[in-house]
Structure 1
Amino acid sequence: MKSSYGGSKQGFLDERADDSQPLREYAISIQQKRKIREIQNAQTKRTTGWVQWKENWKSCRKLADDTKELLYTMQLWRKDIRSIEGTKSRANSSGKFGSGVQSYFMFLRFLVLLNFVMFVLMFGFVTLPIAISRNTVFNSSHVVSYASDIAPECTKYKAAIEGLGYFHKYIFDLLSGTGFLEWTYLFYGYYTVEAINFKDHRYNIPLAYLLVTFAYLILSLLWIVKRSVEGFKQSLVSDEDRFQSYCNKIFAGWDFCITDESTAALKHNSLQYELKTDLEEERIRQKIAERTRAETCRIYLLRIFLNFIVVTVLAISFYCIYRTSIFSQEFGKQTFPGADMLNLVVEYLPSIVITIANFITPIIFKIIVNFEDYTPAFEIRCTLMRCVFVRLANIGVLLITLWTRITYCVFGICSLCGYNHDTYPCWESRVGQEMYKLMIFDFIIISAVTIFVEFPRKLLVQHCSFKPLQWWGLQTFEIPQNVLEIVYGQTICWIGTFYCPLLPAIATVKYFIIFYIKKIGLMKNCIPSPKPFRASSSNFFFLLVLLIGLILACIPVGTGIAYMRSSKACGPFVAFNTSWDIIGYTVNRMPPGLQKIFNGITSEAFAVPFFVLICLILFYFIALAGAHKRVVMQLRKQLALEGRDKLFLIRKLAELQTSMSKMPTTQSSTFDLKTNQTLQYLHPQKLQADVHV
């Protein structure tokens, strides 16, 4: 009896030791609490090494999951974006906008976060240290050119800073980036600091400026690629057999964890929209399959002719931008006192022409693509690629024209400084001003179109019975055009951040406001599009277009860093021939061992084998993906064959049942034997099919 009591007492102590409840809450003696504490300490000592590491790893994973869940609940505009998919239009309550429009607003949210991170990088590592050094006791050394052969004419730069004359003058300066804004933290020319000395540490501003530029470009690339891979996976999952897609949506598409009525309505609308998209694509695919050879030839000839028209429109657009850019720069050399409005219009003339081209060409392309008889998904992609080429090429024409004027030399004027220092004493700030004007003007146009075009159109169509207005009808939310607007603005931001360091802050505020402008315009003025399209492929394609914009933005930025002569009158790189020279200067000041490592990494002996290795790895993954694709196709064929076997056996079973109903009773035992054999054969086939699925 005593041993039984002792065993139960020991079990009680072991049970309390495993409990997480504090010991002070137990009504037991001090001696028992001490024994429980000893047991807990012994257990802690036993969980060392591998077991302890696994427990710590589980805790870290749980913490990461909890953090991810918390960030998801705190996600910007989460409820607003979820509500857009199933929201009915107030202009026409008969339809819903669907997941395609929702994907646009998710894309806009991504750009807001990206620009905010870019602003934090540039502000934290470049702007803030200079601002602190100029307003505190820290010592900051201003740049003095190391080269002794620089002509004094190259170092003359005086920003057009004037006193307060008229209020409208400040408005003009705010819109054009000149005047009082030219000599602020907004533009490149203001960052004339070589280094900041924090006690015993020296902060190299030119190196930080260049490294932050590389950092935001690389970060943008990695972030876009990461999201593109996720979208590509979704598109691969959705790229399946059409019959299988219908079955999955109808029989397995519902989420039975949904308990909220509004969430259930959103899910119902989402499934309905996806089924409509599948049926529309199937209808067009069937129409294409039923074409005759004559109809196919007619369509291809028509597409060739329409593409010739597209090329002509592009050529006219580029020529107009080129001529207006030259006229604006020639006119800017002259001064007309009292003609502030005229000067502002001429300053904005390239931006105005670019905006007009960006507004007119998508309308022309939309009309053209209606005659080319493409599927809705390919129609959007084709229009998007054409308009992307127009918008990004327009920026390229403007920059080429501007840089041609910067390096254009007459009578040996460039021999002193390596650029046209008379017209552009601080050419980097001039490029930053052009990008700033494009950003501001783009925002003004987007806001003005929503307020002064889309809303009046809705009122006229709803309250006026004029036949042409009724034929014009209520507008739909044009996803390609809206995506192009923000991709165009983001490309401007990538190009201009090097020359206008605070441009990401302007872009963040711009996209934040545009979200609400577009949402209100969507709810108030738009009706759902009659041509549904798949959102999974759209998300991937949006990011692909954005990636193209990033790659094209790296070309002018890289050219300005590596090949263009730095201004000798402003900016952090006046001591160097080009901005890239700061890298060589920094490497030469490193210890000899680090210099050898850096030179070895950047040499051809390392670069060529590294490139070959990357190509081999890429080839391996491409071959692996092809092998996996072939295996998937074989498994699908095997599933189809096993399905036919099942149908054959079920048909035989039905025939046996029919014949049994006509047989005498004495033959029922024979039928039972055949039925059992059939079921025994059918059952393992079913299991095998389930395993393959």
Structure 2
Amino acid sequence: SWLGRAPPAGAPGSTFLSTATTYFLNGVEHFFSLSGGCCFFSWFKFYLYVFFFRRSATGFKHNLIQDEDCFQSFCNKIFAGWDFCITSENAAKLKKKTLLYELKVSLYIRSMIVKLQKIAERTHKEKCRLYFIRLILNLFVIGVLAACFYCIYLATIFSQKVFVVSPLLQVNFIVDLIFEYLPSIVITFANFITPVLFSFIINFEDYSPAFEIRFTLMRCVFMRLTSIVVLLFSVWSRITKCKDDPCICGYNHDLYPCWETHVGQEMYKLTIFDFIVIISVTIFVEFPRKLLLRYSNSALAKWMSQQEFSIPQNVLEIVYGQTICWIGTFYCPLLPAICTLKYFFIFYIKKVSLIKNCRPATRPFRASSSNFFFLGVLLIGLSLACVPVIASIAQINCSRACGPFVNYETSWDVVPDTVSQLPKGVEQLLWALSSEAFAVSFFVITCLAMFYVIALAGAHKRVINELRHQLEMVGLILPPKGGSM
């Protein structure tokens, strides 16, 4: 159940995980008050925001300084890339492979200049034709996304209808299990098909190689994160809909006596099914594909080729799972522990699959330069996770059947009620920190800090350009070896 109390007998969601959450929270309820839980959740989100902004700002500064710095990159790798403190043979081999891969990436980036020159030499007729093709393909992508979101909505409504509205429609265990996990199945299937489709479509849009990767990732990110939004919207549209509008309790008490448990269960299902799919793909797709390529010389084996390990797609899988964890933490406190175990096993499964089943990507990928992009995506996921949680805390009425907030209108009401019981000085301090004046001041200070960071990065870049110019001048002034002034 949700936060410490079990749902009534026969209520939807009385599963093993819900019961485990109940026992877990009953054991620690003496250590955490209700308002303490809300405050801890709020401060945890705030800490994550500060952490991601700091890391993103660092990556942004590095991108500004290192942009268009190919010559310096080659010099650093060739003349200063080796670590002379290495004493182990295995460490030396690993360092050699790392430097070799970095040089391949740099050479690949240099080869993009040829394609960029061809792009600049296009005629107006070629540009119009290309823009028309891009327009058609983007409309097709929008149609695919809309179809996926509509299927997720229909699957969620059907699943709710079977298990909540009309329990008599249940057939047997296998069919009921499929119906119960139907939204998760549809979301996972959409997340599995759309990246392949986007990677195929991007070949006809004729973008620059660097933009191809980023644009494909942006489409995949939008698909994965928006699918969670559609699922929550579908669930909440059922929770807040009553026969007699508006709902007397603020939600549909007859069908969802403990709606927080229901939302938490949906996050549980997404997490568990995502884990099952990752393991299944590794065991039943990647491993047999490797065996087929090793022991077969058929045309099918040659056409399939060896599986590539795509770093961006694997990172997006982690971002997707982390977003689900953030959303579900408030409704199911055991979810972070489950996600920790999930990614512990996934790490070693992916490691074995990478070594045994996969080969490096044909297109080199520089993970260090995309650190800012991935942190930005993770920050978007965190912001997306905050929206439904904050809306449910502040807007939707608490369940009257379970949960620690049954005596309050909304979950947030416990915070001012508890603050009013604190000493006068502490109460005034907390109200001052939550005032609009403090929020505006904090926003202005944050903007000034961001402006300072950007200005400092620009100053560093100008210094680097000046030093590079001085080195070029020194190279022109110095005589060749063996010559005289």
What is the TM-score with the length of structure 2 in the denominator?
A: 0.90
1:427 corresponds in structure 2 to: 259
Which moves more between the two structures, 498-507 or 513-522?
A: 513-522
Say yes or no: does 1:533 pair with 2:362: no
**1:226 to partner: Cα distance:** 4.4
Cα gap change, 1:467/1:632 in structure 2, threshold over 3 Å: closer, same or farther? same
Secondary structure, in 3 states, of the residue corresponding to 1:533?
Answer: coil
2:18 corresponds in structure 1 to: 182
Maintained 8 Å contact 1:576/1:582: yes
* Structural mapping, 1:239-388, within 5 Å: 239-291=67-119, 292-294=121-123, 295=126, 298-332=129-163, 333-336=165-168, 339-388=172-221
Q: How many residues align?
A: 479
Deviations 1:12-63 (A, max 9, x none): xxxxxxxxxxxxxxxxxxxxxxxxxxxxxxxxxxxxxxxxxxxxxxxxxxxx
Maintained 8 Å contact 2:259/2:399: yes
CA–CA separation in structure 1 for the residues paired with 2:60 and 2:275 = 31
CA–CA separation in structure 1 for the residues paired with 2:391 and 2:442 = 25
**1:376 to partner: Cα distance:** 4.5
**1:299 to partner: Cα distance:** 4.1
CA–CA separation in structure 1 for the residues paired with 2:194 and 2:22 = 32
CA–CA separation in structure 2 for the residues paired with 1:439 and 1:390 = 17
CA–CA separation in structure 1 for the residues paired with 2:57 and 2:447 = 19
**1:317 to partner: Cα distance:** 0.8
Say yes or no: does 1:573 pair with 2:402: no
**1:478 to partner: Cα distance:** 1.8
Deviations 1:560-607 (A, max 9, x none): 111111112111111111111111101211233333333233223333
CA–CA separation in structure 2 for the residues paired with 1:227 and 1:596 = 33
Task: Give 5+ residue unaligned stretches, structure 2.
Answer: none
Pick the aligned partner of 1:554 from 372, 375, 386. Answer: 386
**1:535 to partner: Cα distance:** 2.3
Deviations 1:536-573 (A, max 9, x none): 11333322222211111111111111111111211111
Pick the aligned partner of 1:394 from 211, 227, 230. Answer: 227
Amino acid at match of 1:158: P
CA–CA separation in structure 2 for the residues paired with 1:441 and 1:244 = 46
Deviations 1:434-486 (A, max 9, x none): 00001000000110011011111122223233313311211111222222222
Pick the aligned partner of 2:352 from 493, 513, 520. Answer: 520
CA–CA separation in structure 1 for the residues paired with 2:323 and 2:110 = 36
Cα gap change, 1:363/1:348 in structure 2, threshold over 3 Å: closer, same or farther? same
**1:215 to partner: Cα distance:** 3.4
Maintained 8 Å contact 1:495/1:553: yes
Say yes or no: does 1:623 pair with 2:451: no
Cα gap change, 1:191/1:577 in structure 2, threshold over 3 Å: closer, same or farther? farther
CA–CA separation in structure 2 for the residues paired with 1:254 and 1:407 = 62
1:440 corresponds in structure 2 to: 272
CA–CA separation in structure 1 for the residues paired with 2:162 and 2:246 = 20
Identity %: 54
* Structural mapping, 1:137-216, within 5 Å: 158-160=8-10, 178-185=14-21, 196=30, 205-216=33-44
Pick the aligned partner of 1:499 from 317, 326, 331. Answer: 331
**1:628 to partner: Cα distance:** 3.5
Amino acid at match of 2:175: L
Maintained 8 Å contact 2:13/2:262: no
CA–CA separation in structure 1 for the residues paired with 2:66 and 2:463 = 18
Deviations 1:201-256 (A, max 9, x none): xx662112212222332333344444445545554564352222222211222222
Cα gap change, 1:250/1:300 in structure 2, threshold over 3 Å: closer, same or farther? farther
Instruction: Answer 1 or 2: higher relative contact order, Cα 8 Å, separation at least 6.
Output: 2
* Structural mapping, 1:663-674, within 5 Å: none
Maintained 8 Å contact 2:319/2:377: yes
**1:614 to partner: Cα distance:** 3.2
1:24 corresponds in structure 2 to: none
Say yes or no: does 1:597 pair with 2:426: no
What is the TM-score with the length of structure 1 in the denominator?
A: 0.64
CA–CA separation in structure 2 for the residues paired with 1:606 and 1:634 = 42
Query: Which of the pair has more CA radius of gyration?
Result: 1
Cα gap change, 1:195/1:538 in structure 2, threshold over 3 Å: closer, same or farther? closer
* Structural mapping, 1:631-670, within 5 Å: 631-646=463-478, 649-650=479-480, 654=483
Amino acid at match of 1:160: G
* Structural mapping, 1:92-107, within 5 Å: none
Task: Give 5+ residue unaligned stretches, structure 1.
Answer: 1-125, 131-141, 143-155, 162-175, 197-202, 655-674, 679-693
**1:271 to partner: Cα distance:** 1.1
Maintained 8 Å contact 1:495/1:554: yes
Amino acid at match of 2:231: L
CA–CA separation in structure 2 for the residues paired with 1:229 and 1:602 = 26
CA–CA separation in structure 2 for the residues paired with 1:489 and 1:192 = 27
Secondary structure, in 3 states, of the residue corresponding to 1:258?
Answer: coil
CA–CA separation in structure 1 for the residues paired with 2:312 and 2:437 = 46
Maintained 8 Å contact 2:393/2:412: yes
Maintained 8 Å contact 2:52/2:379: yes
Cα gap change, 1:386/1:588 in structure 2, threshold over 3 Å: closer, same or farther? same
1:100 corresponds in structure 2 to: none
CA–CA separation in structure 2 for the residues paired with 1:408 and 1:180 = 28
CA–CA separation in structure 2 for the residues paired with 1:191 and 1:268 = 51
CA–CA separation in structure 2 for the residues paired with 1:180 and 1:160 = 14
Secondary structure, in 3 states, of the residue corresponding to 2:19?
Answer: coil
Secondary structure, in 3 states, of the residue corresponding to 1:446?
Answer: helix
Deviations 1:113-138 (A, max 9, x none): xxxxxxxxxxxxx98xx8xxxxxxxx
Maintained 8 Å contact 1:277/1:532: yes
Maintained 8 Å contact 1:435/1:493: yes
